[in-house]
Amino acid sequence: MNDAVKRRVMVLGARSEIGLAIARAFAAQGHPISLAARRAAELEAERADIALRHNVDVELLEFDVLETEALGPFVKDAPGLPSVVVSVIGAMGDQRDSETDVAAAAQVFRTNFEGPAQVLSLYAERMISEGAGGTLVGVSSVAGDRGRGSNYVYGSAKAGFTAFLSGLRNRLAGQGVHVVTVKPGFVDTQMTRGMDLPKALTAAPEEVGAAVQRAVEKQRNVIYVRPVWWLVMRIICALPEGIFKRTKL
């Protein structure tokens, strides 16, 4: 995206620390921002801070990715079309609950794969039909690179989302719409605080925001926020299944 032209950036799932960090990274470059989230009115303080700090227009939009029937109207009826749409939607859930509760597992699948894929598909169609072009960004996870016993329900949902983004990128190549896949790895957020995470593998939300902004600007395809994750996951994915089954990852 050419920074000389300030185009609107939509952040879906803007309530999260990562979502707000991404919004701030783009606002710092002068781009107007749309913050879409559940209970969006509660983000008024963040909206006002971003608008004042960076002198850009920032709007709040009520959005729930699990309300499937509302996704179409949200995308198609909104005035104006953002040039960049970033889906930061996701929730890890509890692995044990997902193993024993069908509804809990379905919630993880819908939140991390089904809903984000549906809304990005709708934005892709609108960008193509209006001939406006643009960039779609999906924040996936390294957990989708190989299923691990500790979080395979969440991981399989992210694996599906990663495959969806790859297919969407392939389909839209040459049509003026670019697709970026982001794999953050561990991020120091409220959700992970208290966990003993390795510092070399753990990014701050601001680091993720800056990485996403650069990836959009440079039209990257797939990024690991910290490049070391590429090596880590290549090693994990290369383990023979017989050995992998004996690990506790």
Domain boundaries, the chain: 9-244
At residue 78, the pLDDT reads: 80
Sole residue written with tokens 């309530």 = 15
| Superfamily of domain covering 9-244 | NAD(P)-binding Rossmann-like Domain (3.40.50.720)
Query: How does pLDDT run across 167-184, given as a tens digit for each residue?
Result: 999 999 999 999 999 999
Is 152 annotated in the active site? no
Confidence at 75, pLDDT banded by 50, 70, 90: very high
Answer whether residue 162 shows pLDDT above 80: yes
Bridge partner residues of 227 (DSSP): none
Compute CA distances 49 → 8, 28, 45, 193, 202, whole Å.
Answer: 17, 12, 6, 25, 26
- Per residue in 2-48, pLDDT (tens digit) is 445 679 999 999 999 999 999 999 999 999 999 999 999 999 999 99
Alpha-carbon span 87 to 160, nearest angstrom: 15
Report the distance separating Cα 220 and Cα 230, nearest Å. 15
C-alpha torsion sign, points 189, 103, 74, 171: positive
Please identify which of the residues 123, 152, 154, 224 carries the catalytic annotation.
Answer: 154
- Higher pLDDT pick, 89 / 77: 89
Q: 148 in helix, strand or coil?
A: coil
